[in-house]
Structure 1
Amino acid sequence: MNLDLTVRLTLLGLLGLVLGSFANWAIYRWAFFRAPVSPWLEPPKGHEQRSWVARLPVVGWWTRAAEVDAQLDAARARLTLMGYEVPKDWRPRLPFWFRPMLIELGMAFVVPWLYWFETEAGGLLPQGIQVQAVILQHQGWFHWLYMGHLVLLLAMVVATFIDFDEQLIPDVITIPVTLLAMVLGACSLHTFLPCPVVSNGVMSIVPTTLGQPGGWSEMWQDPLGLGIGCFLWTGWCFALSNRRIITRQGWGKVLPFFVAIMRRDPMSKWLLLIWIVGMVFVGAIWQTGGTAWQGLATALMGMAIGGGTIWAVRIVAGLAMGEEAMGFGDVTLMAMVGGFVGWQATGAAFFIAPLTSIFIVLLSFLLTGQRMTPFGPYLCAGTIVTILYWPVIWTEAILPALLLGPLFLTIMLVALLAMGILLGIWRMIKTRLFA
């Protein structure tokens, strides 16, 4: 912070190049179908080993034009396994290196721009108080915010492009970043978005924690609050488990079958360890109390509302349509987002996500010719829009909705039911018309 702003932005631009390069590494490395064009993977047969130049951001992608045929073979194999009919002469509309190069260039621009927007311009403050005195007063807070948003942005970039390629979001992205969100929330309330609060005619800026608007509830400081926190953590761990319910030998055998499945699943041991450490962490932070517990409880509730909303939509839409409506990766993705931005902003991002779909689908079709677009990129785009336009969204949308109190929850449940009914009607129409 003591460096000149120009120097800081330049260093952050270089950091953006490195983060963009890491994003490309993760996109190719963590994909289920690994394409051979990544500079960090073994080159296709018949091609020479890649030099150090191939690993440089941006310019390295120009050195692998000879690998186009190998990339096309990998792309055809992925699309065929996903159920597409791919002509033998099919070629993508853009060279394979164009997207990763744009990712690295984009991160080189976005990383310093986001820093300027959040810490220097006060872009997350209401428009009337975006003045230098207020920005300087909260600059330490804004640096915490920027750090959290940078981690979230990087995770969403990796998740978005893997979802574009394979219609899935690997847990290796969402689980570690969700854990990090819990730790950051317990470290500081300043990892959450700001919101204006008026008391005795004086406006102040406070973090958008669990109880906003209205303040921190006494209930969360009681043992009941600890119980809710442990319940939310257990629910997230259960959501990550192998949840197959086998009832063919009666409901009395459901639990033994579930335990047997969990014992055979190699990930269960790691998940059990995460659950135990998390329960100890939740209990220790609750015992500490103060802002640490307030921050962790906010992150836990954001995780629960973000993941729970998508999970509920997935269940209702799946029952109505008779098929899987969205992948479970979307559930873990929004749980991750909720851990960083809290439940209020997560709810707004969910409603904004469909509005971004028109632009994303059109852009994807123009660039790649692909008509099918997964829901994960919409959720990420909705999250970005929510953060960038947070002051307006809080004042014009979230605050009026929350002031409805219990009526707001009723409206949400009715909307979920209406969605299920409409999808069920569409299923019947589709069955009759296209049988």
Structure 2
Amino acid sequence: MIWFALPTWISWTFLVLLGAFLGAAANWLSDVLAWQPRQISPWYPADHGRRRSWAEYLPIIGWLLRISDGGRHGRFFWLRPLTVELICAIAVPLLYWWEVIEAGLIPFGAPRPPQGVLHAIFVRHLMLIFFMLVASLIDWDEKLIPDSVTVPGTLLALILAASLPSSQLPHISMPRSIFEVDHVPEVRKPEYGFLTFSAPYDWPKSFGGQPHGHGLSLGLACWWLWCFALMPRRWYRRKGFWKSLKMMCARLYRSRVTGGLAVMGLIGSAGILFSWIAGGVHWQGLLSALVGMAASAVLAWVVRIVGSMVLDREALGFGDVTLMAMLGAYLGWQPGIILFFLAPFAGLIVAVVILVLHQETEIPYGPFLCLGALATILFWRPIWEFASRVFELGFILLLLAAACLVLLALLLLVIRFIREKVLGI
């Protein structure tokens, strides 16, 4: 590959520039895809019909040249986008160093995978972090996450899972016993692989490709559940079950979005069928991503219902559900549970600070989910070393899910108490 033949300083310079331009793209998309765009991007027309210089379009430098535009956008309008691009310019090389050079996600003592696999993992995570950054910026400003961010991100995750299954999080089959081969004891060596939906156990043959139908049924069910979740449906609980169902069906029938999602569902079903017929690791990667997408979305969906009951108002926006679906498609259902368990810790601290200082009653939860996902990626080696043993005990999964629900319920109760008893709002 040309990349490996480049001098070191050129490679690192490229990574720095790549990070800066990805940060600039995230700033631009967070403005364009927002419900109420701030219009601070240099791609919007300048004041008084002035033509912008080419340098104003550059990452980092462009914001420094536009400090004088503060009269229109606010005095420090340039500070956040500048910080985002600076952090990205530093973070991308660091991520490359950690995941490719140091192989920081691979357990100690395990065989080092080929360079191509490490680069595939890096590219996959870089794409995920980009989508998480865009979603977090919009959610922080507007308390919502548009489908125009999470839907393309999820589709890209599924395509990557089917085409480059080795780009998923690593899973090492470590030796656990001694096998008898021709009456000669042989220690099983560690084998490198990627995280599948059955990990830490071996892949079940009944969920393989053709002619096994269980995997195909599961994949299609996960896919259509996601498509249905994106449809413009609304459930009116006070109207009664049958009347609410009738109203929801009528709304789905009248909406143009339903037809587009149905077409997407059929195209996706054809792709799933093709991958199932092909079988092999590509089918394992796609099915694992589909299960991760559906399981993570269902977890957030249940939490949304529980949180709404605790707060007596909407706790999580449905954008958080679609965000969890995207995270699960990229990482898998096991990391989905882990990151959802980590998110409340950061959320509780930040939420209390914001409530006390700014008396904000609505705290975006999407950025905390993204922080949990980022922590899961960076510390995957120790996290999975511990979690893989936990996931071997099936009933513990229910306890983990219950713990996540309890933590979120406590977070929401604290917010409700501070809002009503302390702040009186």
Task: Decide whether aligned partners of structure 1 residues 353 and 251 sit closer, same or farther in structure 2, where only a CA change above 3 A counts.
Answer: closer
**2:254 equivalent to 1:264:** yes
Counterpart of 1:78 in structure 2 is none
**TM-score when normalising by structure 2:** 0.86
Aligned partner letter, 2:230: L
Question: Superposed, which structure 2 residues align to 1:355-434 within 5 Å?
Answer: 355-357=345-347, 373-396=363-386, 398-405=387-394, 407-412=395-400, 414-415=402-403
Distance 1:207 1:16 in 2: 26
Assess if the C-alpha contact under 8 Å between 2:144 and 2:317 holds in 1: yes
Task: Decide whether aligned partners of structure 1 residues 111 and 365 sit closer, same or farther in structure 2, where only a CA change above 3 A counts.
Answer: farther
1:191-215 deviation line (CA, Å, top 9, x unaligned): 2111221233422222111111111
Assess if the C-alpha contact under 8 Å between 1:348 and 1:386 holds in 2: yes
Please state whether the residue corresponding to 2:144 is helix, strand or coil: coil
Task: Decide whether aligned partners of structure 1 residues 322 and 140 sit closer, same or farther in structure 2, where only a CA change above 3 A counts.
Answer: same
Aligned partner letter, 1:159: A
Question: Superposed, which structure 2 residues align to 1:35-434 within 5 Å?
Answer: 35-43=38-46, 46=48, 48-72=50-74, 95-129=76-110, 134-135=111-112, 137-199=113-175, 200-221=187-208, 222-246=212-236, 251-357=241-347, 373-396=363-386, 398-405=387-394, 407-412=395-400, 414-415=402-403
Counterpart of 2:184 in structure 1 is none
Report which stretch shifted further, 31-40 or 265-274: 265-274
Please state whether the residue corresponding to 2:372 is helix, strand or coil: helix
Counterpart of 1:82 in structure 2 is none
Residue 424 of structure 1, CA deviation: 9.6
**2:10 equivalent to 1:7:** yes
Residue 149 of structure 1, CA deviation: 0.5
RMSD of aligned Cα (Å) = 3.0
1:279-324 deviation line (CA, Å, top 9, x unaligned): 1111111111111110100100111122111111111111232111
Structure 1 unmatched ranges of 5 or more: 73-90
Residue 365 of structure 1, CA deviation: 9.5
Residue 258 of structure 1, CA deviation: 2.7
Please state whether the residue corresponding to 1:195 is helix, strand or coil: strand
Aligned partner letter, 1:410: L
Task: Decide whether aligned partners of structure 1 residues 251 and 188 sit closer, same or farther in structure 2, where only a CA change above 3 A counts.
Answer: same
Please state whether the residue corresponding to 1:183 is helix, strand or coil: helix
Aligned partner letter, 1:321: L
1:397-432 deviation line (CA, Å, top 9, x unaligned): x12321211x12432464467569868987997899
Task: Decide whether aligned partners of structure 1 residues 414 and 171 sit closer, same or farther in structure 2, where only a CA change above 3 A counts.
Answer: closer
Residue 154 of structure 1, CA deviation: 0.6
Distance 1:382 1:248 in 2: 36
Counterpart of 1:77 in structure 2 is none
1:72-110 deviation line (CA, Å, top 9, x unaligned): 4xxxxxxxxxxxxxxxxxx7xxx1101111111111111
Task: Decide whether aligned partners of structure 1 residues 35 and 49 sit closer, same or farther in structure 2, where only a CA change above 3 A counts.
Answer: farther
Please state whether the residue corresponding to 2:190 is helix, strand or coil: strand
1:107-165 deviation line (CA, Å, top 9, x unaligned): 11111221121111111112345xxxx44x42211111011101101111111111111
Task: Decide whether aligned partners of structure 1 residues 420 and 162 sit closer, same or farther in structure 2, where only a CA change above 3 A counts.
Answer: closer
Distance 2:287 2:69 in 1: 49
Assess if the C-alpha contact under 8 Å between 2:304 and 2:316 holds in 1: yes
Q: How many residues align?
A: 405
Distance 2:89 2:352 in 1: 25
Task: Decide whether aligned partners of structure 1 residues 61 and 419 sit closer, same or farther in structure 2, where only a CA change above 3 A counts.
Answer: closer
Please state whether the residue corresponding to 1:387 is helix, strand or coil: helix
Report which stretch shifted further, 310-319 or 107-116: 107-116
Assess if the C-alpha contact under 8 Å between 1:188 and 1:291 holds in 2: no
- Identity among equivalent positions (%) equals 36
Assess if the C-alpha contact under 8 Å between 2:391 and 2:397 holds in 1: no
**TM-score when normalising by structure 1:** 0.84
Counterpart of 2:25 in structure 1 is 22
Distance 1:364 1:61 in 2: 27
Please state whether the residue corresponding to 1:127 is helix, strand or coil: coil
Residue 360 of structure 1, CA deviation: 5.2
